[in-house]
Amino acid sequence: MSIDYVRDGRIVTITINRPEARNSLDMAHFRDLAHAWAGFRDDADAWVAVITGVGRDFCTGADLKKFIPELTGDLPQPAGWNKTDAIHAVLHQFPIYKPIVAAVNGVCVAGGFEMLTSTDIRVAVPEARFAVMEPKRGLFAGGGSTVRLPRQMPYAFAMELLLTADMVDAERALAMGLINRVVPVDQLMNTAYEYAERIAVNAPLAVSATKQSAVEGLALDLQSAYANETRHSDRIFATQDAKEGPRAFAEKRPPQWQAR
């Protein structure tokens, strides 16, 4: 099957469509997912992305039956593959300063979990399950989880997930602060799109700068983070959209964002 990429207006939907392999990723699918993220990043008309899966799994990470043999040369590597694709597919050190909403339709473990930590807003079905998983296989979660989780949620909860590698259900993930909402399966995509639409009515440059400032600030000391925030603020206040917003408010009409 495939990695599906669809843009409808300002919102992109990226779907991992490989249910026969529990939405795991071999080299070809890592490559295609990395290309989908790059396409979203580079498309000026795409303002928000929603990532989801087909079937009962969101993403179960690398396809160990195919990926490792491909990596070691026991199976042929697909055309166009390079070693950074797996890193870029889970958004490890591949910054996209546009909002990403995760619609978690099922099991989200290993590389799928690591990709989840790269998203900004997370909606899940009650049947969703979450786990870091790698330590149970003698592996290391090197796609950003050990860096992101302690910055995104209370330290003790982050370390519980990282060290036990145990599976947690959606309600536990919600209580930990890993996800935003739990909704019935028939409401999952509508809820994810509602978040995306609420974001997409805002000025895209302001939204992007807000995310960038927040992400960059996590790696800076407090004073440096404030200085970085000021740089982003100065840049946004100099845009045409910064003039359009107050003007539209005064004229009691919806703003017409130009992304400039």
pLDDT tens, position by position, 101-142: 999 999 999 999 999 999 999 999 999 999 998 888 888 888
CATH classification at residue 229? 1.10.12.10
Q: Which residues form the domain of 221? A: 204-251
Query: What b/e string do you get for 4-26 counting C-beta neighbours within 10 Å, with b at 16 or more?
Result: ebebeebbbbbbbbbeebbbbbb
Dist. CA 27–CA 32, nearest whole Å: 9
Together in a domain, 211 and 141: no
Would you say residue 76 has pLDDT above 70? no
Q: How much is the pLDDT for 75?
A: 61
On whether both 127 and 245 belong to a single domain, the answer is: no
pLDDT at residue 86, rounded to an integer: 79
Q: Is 188 found in the same domain as 62?
A: yes
Active site residues: 114, 134
pTM here is: 0.93
What is the SS3 assignment for 42-92? HCCCCCEEEEEECCCEEECCECCCCHHHHHHCCCCCCCCCCCHHHHHHCCC
Tally of CB atoms within 10 A around 54? 18
Q: CATH code at 190?
A: 3.90.226.10
CA distance 196 to 11: 7
Q: Are residues 59 and 153 in the same domain?
A: yes
Position 248 scores a pLDDT of: 92
260 in a domain, yes or no?
A: no
Same domain, 160 and 220: no
Confidence of residue 83 (pLDDT cuts 50, 70, 90): confident
Note whether 221 and 119 are same-domain residues: no
**Which of the pair, 87 or 164, is modelled with greater confidence?**
164
196 and 241 part of one domain: no
Residue 96's nearest CA partner among 232, 211, 219, 220 is 211
Contacts of 54 (CB under 8 A, 6+ apart): 1, 15, 16, 17, 18, 19, 23, 105
Task: For residue range 145-168, list pLDDT tens digits in order.
Answer: 899 999 999 999 999 999 999 999
The rounded mean pLDDT for the chain is 92
Domain count, the chain: 2
